[in-house]
């Protein structure tokens, strides 16, 4: 066997010694109480076992809560472990109505921190309490060591008053545990008025001053790779992203698995293509039995948090699986400054978790239509004779029926100028401040930072607008920038074709974490960076039929090297009649040589019939033999509907 190149040997040795080794089982990273709660830890509770396991008993629990997904009765006794929606945030809670007592036995080293939240949800006052009286509960934490018990926290919390909506009283606390606890018994107890819906949120013990490894995944929605300076764009839209790229490995030919948000993010978080995860339509949620990226980190005692724009990355679609905290209220389209809001939320969270190993997911719709960011950014690239200073793309066109309407070139350029302003705003208000924050807190060098988008955006490149309906590169080719800890692979540029499904295996390898046992479509990108792998990967992207009421038939795209095939079902007469302007003519099979024809103008399918037939057979076999995951049909709640309306997806 030939010896590995010296560069490969050194890099692999660095990965192993520096940050890629598996966590030492003797090392105390954290103790997450929810993971360790079994029936043996439930000392007392007012909940009746038979009631809690029977049907139609959710009224016993906090409103807008549900049992943590993927846990059976043995792992979630009395359904006490739950997700609770508090405003725009879902948090993991340990439901603890008054007269509850849970005890945990553990060992922890000296100089640890006990972090927790506690809260009460509004409930109707009982008849025996007068309107002027205040109901409430005491939250008590005690530690027993060597037969001696000591109370280390006690606070009385008053139940919130009703103000026309579900309200909460909620606080966060952190307590120092100075002395080591060998065989310590920690008890969480709630005492107070019966019927109150009290809870603890994410109680955890972790070492103070720990220096570990962290991961931040940033997804900027609807961002074309070719509109970033580091990908060759002539405008200065992304100075901070470009600076990040200079410290990173940049992948020049990265492809999303779908041209719209929901299935593309499912692919990122599960390392599965649509043919396997089966989330194709807006009323489908990922199967909770699939292991997500966040769940892998949570299983290794990482703190997991997300600050997102909601919509198609809302918890209703399964994205909160594995996250301790999942916020959908900051990166959404309702705020013209959503990128800045995401940074502020992330910055506050980082301040509270400097001692934790963490996985942080940040997502914003800032670069998604409508293009209307704050000045001076929204006018930064406009001409003096620009027609408008903000635009809602689909509304401007006159609805989806005008998806293929041609407009004058100055008007088209005006739209692009506004889009570029959104990119610059995101760069200045999210990426720049975040990188500065990480450097100021000494997190930058030891954090794996991944910058992606879920899909691109079409500006009549192929006779259409927006995204979600075509599979050309303006919709599928996305930025993929990976900043490794300790400057590994700094300033590397990978030209190979890769897919975003490769991201999860890459992160797991870098962090030394075990991949899920189920079959994944992605593979680690490390062999491409070390030079052990030379060939282009095969990407796969597809979009279901009539997704988002676009009246577009199913499409599939894949490649053999730099030759890309697109398969399209034919339009039905009814679908064709939907459009005020006919879709541009394109055959059911399109083949493009991306090296010679990067703009995908010349269809070579008739000139290369053998290659086209070979790829089509591969696609047919893949879809026929695929082990398809069962998805859940969901009811989209009103808050998510409003977000989707603002994004232009539904009326």
User: Among 74-83, 415-424, 462-471, 490-499, which is the least confidently predicted range?
Assistant: 74-83
User: Among 58-67, 80-89, 239-248, which is the least confidently predicted range?
Assistant: 58-67
Domain co-membership, 177 together with 223: no
Domain co-membership, 250 together with 187: no
Residue with tokens 């997190």: 443
What pLDDT score was predicted for residue 52?
53
Is 22's pLDDT higher than 50? no
Is 33's pLDDT higher than 90? yes
Of all helices (H) and strands (E), which one includes residue 396?
A: helix 393-397
Is 7's pLDDT higher than 80? no
- Domain finish residue from 207, 235, 258: 207
pLDDT tens digit sequence for 45-70:
999 765 555 556 778 899 899 999 87
Mean pLDDT of 443-456: 97
Q: Retrieve residue 574's tokens.
A: 């009814």
Is residue 163 helix, strand or coil? coil
What gap in Å lies between CA 279 and CA 242, rounded to an integer? 33
- Domain finish residue from 191, 207, 223: 207
What gap in Å lies between CA 425 and CA 339, rounded to an integer? 8
| Contact by Cβ (8 Å): 44, 96 | no
Question: Is residue 84, in this structure, part of any structural domain at all?
Answer: yes
Domain co-membership, 201 together with 264: no
pLDDT tens digit sequence for 561-618:
999 999 999 999 999 999 999 999 888 999 999 999 999 999 999 999 999 999 999 9
The total number of structural domains that make up the chain: 2
Question: Is residue 274, in this structure, part of any structural domain at all?
Answer: yes
- Domain finish residue from 148, 174, 207: 207
Domain co-membership, 198 together with 221: no
Domain co-membership, 191 together with 286: no
Strands 632-633 and 100-108: unpaired
Q: Retrieve residue 468's tokens.
A: 């979600």
What pLDDT score was predicted for residue 123?
77
pLDDT tens digit sequence for 366-397:
999 999 999 999 999 999 999 999 999 999 99
- Expressed as residue numbers, the domain containing 37 is 31-207
Question: Is residue 35, in this structure, part of any structural domain at all?
Answer: yes
pLDDT tens digit sequence for 512-537:
998 888 889 999 999 999 999 999 99
Question: Is residue 235, in this structure, part of any structural domain at all?
Answer: yes
What gap in Å lies between CA 385 and CA 375, rounded to an integer? 17
Question: Is residue 407, in this structure, part of any structural domain at all?
Answer: no
Domain co-membership, 188 together with 291: no
What pLDDT score was predicted for residue 422?
98
pLDDT tens digit sequence for 195-206:
899 999 999 999
What gap in Å lies between CA 524 and CA 510, rounded to an integer? 9
Domain co-membership, 168 together with 90: yes
Is 279's pLDDT higher than 90? yes
| Contact by Cβ (8 Å): 286, 535 | no
What pLDDT score was predicted for residue 165?
60
What pLDDT score was predicted for residue 396?
95
Domain co-membership, 604 together with 527: yes
Question: Is residue 348, in this structure, part of any structural domain at all?
Answer: yes
User: Among 14-18, 265-269, 621-625, which is the least confidently predicted range?
Assistant: 14-18
Is 633's pLDDT higher than 90? no
Question: Is residue 387, in this structure, part of any structural domain at all?
Answer: no
Is 495's pLDDT higher than 50? yes
Q: From 262, 267, 191, select the one nearest 468 (Cα to Cα).
A: 262
Average pLDDT taken over every residue of the chain: 91
From start to end of 372-523, where are the E strands? 447-452, 458-459, 465-466, 477-483, 492-499
Strands 447-452 and 477-483: antiparallel
Domain co-membership, 227 together with 347: yes
Domain co-membership, 169 together with 308: no
Q: What is the CATH number of the domain that holds 582?
A: 3.40.720.10
What pLDDT score was predicted for residue 58?
75
Question: Is residue 24, in this structure, part of any structural domain at all?
Answer: no
From start to end of 221-265, where are the E strands? 249-255
Query: Which burial class, exposed, middle or buried, applies to 64 when counting CB atoms under 10 A from its CB (0-12, 13-18, 19+)?
Result: middle
Q: What is the CATH number of the domain that holds 66?
A: 2.60.120
3-state secondary structure 336-358: CCHHHHHHHHHHHHHHHCCCCCE
Domain co-membership, 312 together with 265: yes
Confidence class for position 624, pLDDT limits 50, 70, 90: very high
| Contact by Cβ (8 Å): 329, 307 | no
Domain co-membership, 473 together with 621: yes
| Contact by Cβ (8 Å): 223, 475 | no
Q: What is the full DSSP assignment across 118-137?
A: EEEE--PPPTTS-TTS--EE
């Amino acid at each position: 066997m030939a010896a590995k190149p010296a560069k490969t040997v050194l890099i692999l040795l660095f990965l192993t010694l520096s940050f890629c080794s598996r966590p030492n089982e003797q090392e105390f990273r954290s103790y997450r109480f929810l993971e360790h709660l079994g029936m043996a830890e439930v000392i007392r509770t007012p909940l009746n076992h038979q009631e809690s396991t029977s049907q139609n008993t959710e009224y016993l629990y906090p409103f807008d809560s549900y049992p943590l997904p993927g846990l059976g009765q043995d792992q979630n006794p009395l359904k006490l472990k739950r997700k609770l929606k508090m405003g725009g945030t879902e948090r993991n809670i340990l439901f603890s109505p008054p007269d509850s007592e849970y005890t945990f036995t553990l060992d922890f080293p000296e100089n640890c921190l006990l972090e927790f939240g506690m809260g009460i949800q509004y409930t109707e006052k009982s008849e025996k309490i007068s309107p002027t009286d205040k109901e409430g509960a005491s939250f008590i934490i005690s530690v027993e060591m060597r037969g001696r018990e000591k109370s280390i926290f006690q606070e009385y919390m008053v139940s919130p008053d009703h103000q026309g909506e579900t309200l909460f009283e909620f606080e966060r606390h952190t307590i120092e545990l100075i002395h080591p606890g060998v065989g310590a018994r920690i008890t969480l107890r709630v005492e107070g008025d019966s019927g109150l819906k009290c809870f603890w949120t994410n109680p955890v013990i972790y070492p103070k001053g720990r220096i570990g490894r962290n991961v931040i995944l940033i997804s900027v929605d609807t961002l074309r790779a070719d509109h970033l300076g580091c990908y060759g764009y002539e405008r200065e839209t992304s100075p901070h992203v470009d600076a990040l790229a200079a410290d990173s490995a940049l992948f020049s030919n990265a492809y999303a698995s779908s041209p719209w948000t929901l299935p593309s993010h499912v692919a990122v978080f599960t390392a599965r293509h649509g043919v396997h995860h089966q989330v194709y339509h807006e009323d489908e949620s990922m199967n909770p039995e699939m292991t997500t990226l966040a769940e892998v980190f949570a299983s290794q005692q990482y703190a997991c948090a997300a600050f997102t724009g909601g919509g198609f990355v809302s918890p209703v679609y399964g994205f909160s699986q594995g996250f301790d905290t999942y916020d959908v209220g900051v990166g959404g389209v309702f705020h013209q400054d959503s990128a800045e809001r995401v940074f502020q939320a992330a910055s506050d969270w980082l301040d509270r978790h400097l001692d934790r190993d963490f996985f942080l997911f940040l997502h914003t719709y800032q670069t998604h239509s409508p293009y209307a960011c704050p000045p001076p950014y929204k006018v930064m690239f406009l001409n003096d004779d620009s027609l408008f200073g903000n635009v809602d793309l689909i509304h401007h066109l006159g609805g989806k029926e005008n998806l293929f309407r041609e407009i004058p070139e100055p008007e088209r350029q005006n739209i692009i100028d506004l889009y570029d302003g959104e990119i610059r705003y995101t760069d200045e208000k999210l990426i720049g401040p975040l990188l500065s924050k990480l450097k100021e807190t000494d997190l930058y060098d030891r954090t794996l930072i991944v910058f992606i988008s879920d899909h691109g955006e079409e500006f009549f490149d192929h006779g259409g607008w927006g995204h979600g309906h075509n599979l050309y590169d303006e919709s599928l080719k996305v930025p993929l920038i990976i900043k490794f800890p300790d400057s590994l692979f700094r300033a590397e540029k990978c030209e190979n074709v890769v897919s975003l499904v490769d991201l999860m295996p890459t992160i797991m390898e870098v962090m030394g974490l075990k991949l899920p046992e189920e079959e994944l479509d992605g593979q680690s990108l490390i062999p491409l960076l070390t030079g052990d792998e030379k060939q282009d990967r095969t990407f796969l992207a597809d979009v279901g039929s009539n997704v988002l009421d676009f009246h577009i038939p199913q499409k599939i795209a894949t490649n053999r090297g730099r030759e890309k095939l697109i398969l399209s079902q034919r339009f039905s007469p009814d679908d064709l009649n939907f459009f005020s302007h006919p879709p541009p003519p394109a055959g059911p099979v399109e083949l493009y040589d991306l090296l010679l024809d990067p703009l995908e103008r010349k269809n070579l399918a008739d000139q290369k019939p053998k290659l086209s037939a070979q790829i089509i057979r591969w696609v047919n076999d893949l879809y026929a033999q695929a082990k398809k995951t069962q998805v859940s049909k969901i009811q989209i709640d009103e808050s998510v509907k409003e977000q989707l309306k603002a994004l232009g997806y539904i009326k």
